[in-house]
């Protein structure tokens, strides 16, 4: 299997919250997308791993992702070691993406920065032919994505690239709301979190408006890339 975009998230819902509009846009334009969650989000204050799995699959169907997998590396305690790197390498080689979306390099939740480092390392290692991996009994060939883009999470950052999601923002909110156990529910007796505040959806909208403002559109999603961007002329970048 080969996809155009492989989106990684430390937890189920990371991808939808940060990149849902971008992925919806690319799928609508005929691009293929797969999602890999590193953990089940089992340390989350609300919900259970089982409900979060169901929610993640519902979001994947709405997005029309070709696949969604969970590596179950251990919420809160996974590390960027050889074992974890090889698990992620297997996913990169399985899906052979041109573009990878990865967690924020630095963020309020410590899992996000660790995930970004793990995902970045694995994308490089996946291109080394002397690292041998196999999946379902079959040897995997080396593969390295052409680009890795890190999405914005809790902390706002200055983006390298902003994708116009104006036509897809409302659908993005529907994607996010697939994870209903994590957000405001007046009938829930579970503890409150930063995500359950009634104004959280307004925050998502305001973040998208902020990024959109910088490129002259209604809504945007921001990404950082840790490399130089090449072009044949300035007019390729307009």
- 132: tokens are 């041998």
- pLDDT of 104 reads 96
* Among 223, 101, 100, residue whose Cα is nearest residue 165: 223
Q: Do 150 and 224 touch, CB atoms closer than 8 A?
A: yes
- pLDDT of 198 reads 84
Pairs from 105-111 (Cβ < 8 Å, separation ≥ 24): 105/150, 105/224, 105/226, 106/155, 107/153, 107/154, 107/155, 108/153, 108/154, 108/155, 109/10, 109/153, 109/154, 111/10, 111/11, 111/39, 111/75, 111/76, 111/78
Q: Do 171 and 24 touch, CB atoms closer than 8 A?
A: yes
Strand order in the sheet with 5-9: 67-70, 33-37, 5-9, 99-102, 147-151, 220-224, 161-164
Q: What is the pLDDT along the chain (238 residues), one digit of tens a residue?
A: 899 999 999 999 999 999 999 999 999 999 999 999 999 999 988 889 999 999 999 999 999 999 999 999 999 999 999 999 999 999 999 999 999 999 999 999 999 999 999 999 999 999 999 999 999 999 999 999 999 999 999 998 999 999 999 999 999 999 999 999 988 888 887 888 888 888 999 999 999 999 999 999 999 999 999 888 889 998 888 7
* DSSP state letters, 48-85: -HHHHHHHHHHHHHHHT-SEEEE----TTT--SSHHHH
The sign of the torsion formed by the CA atoms of 211, 231, 117, 48 equals positive
- Fold type of domain 5-227: Rossmann fold (3.40.50)
Q: What is the pTM of this model?
A: 0.94
Distance CA 55, CA 180 (A): 8
Q: Where along the chain do its domains lie?
A: 5-227
């Amino acid at each position: 299997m080969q996809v155009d975009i492989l989106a990684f998230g430390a937890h189920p819902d990371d991808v939808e919250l940060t990149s849902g509009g971008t992925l919806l846009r690319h799928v609508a334009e005929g691009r293929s997308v797969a999602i890999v969650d590193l953990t089940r989000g089992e340390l989350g204050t609300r919900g259970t791993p089982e409900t979060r799995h169901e929610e993640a699959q519902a979001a994947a169907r709405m997005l029309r992702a070709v696949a969604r997998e969970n590596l179950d590396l251990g919420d809160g305690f996974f590390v960027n070691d050889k074992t974890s790197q090889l698990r992620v390498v297997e996913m990169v080689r399985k899906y052979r993406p041109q573009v990878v979306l990865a967690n924020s390099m630095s963020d309020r939740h410590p899992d996000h920065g660790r995930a970004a480092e793990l995902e970045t390392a694995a994308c490089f290692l996946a291109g080394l032919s002397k690292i041998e991996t196999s999946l379902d009994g079959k040897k995997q060939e080396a593969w390295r994505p052409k680009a890795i883009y890190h999405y914005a999470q809790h902390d706002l950052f200055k983006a390298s690239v902003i994708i116009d999601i104006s036509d897809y923002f409302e659908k993005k909110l529907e994607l996010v709301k697939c994870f209903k156990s994590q957000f405001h529910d007046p009938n829930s007796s579970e503890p409150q979190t930063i995500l359950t505040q009634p104004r959280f959806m307004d925050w998502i909208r305001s973040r998208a408006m902020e990024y959109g403002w910088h490129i002259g559109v209604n809504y945007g999603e921001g990404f950082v890339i840790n490399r130089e961007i090449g072009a044949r002329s300035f007019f390729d970048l307009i």
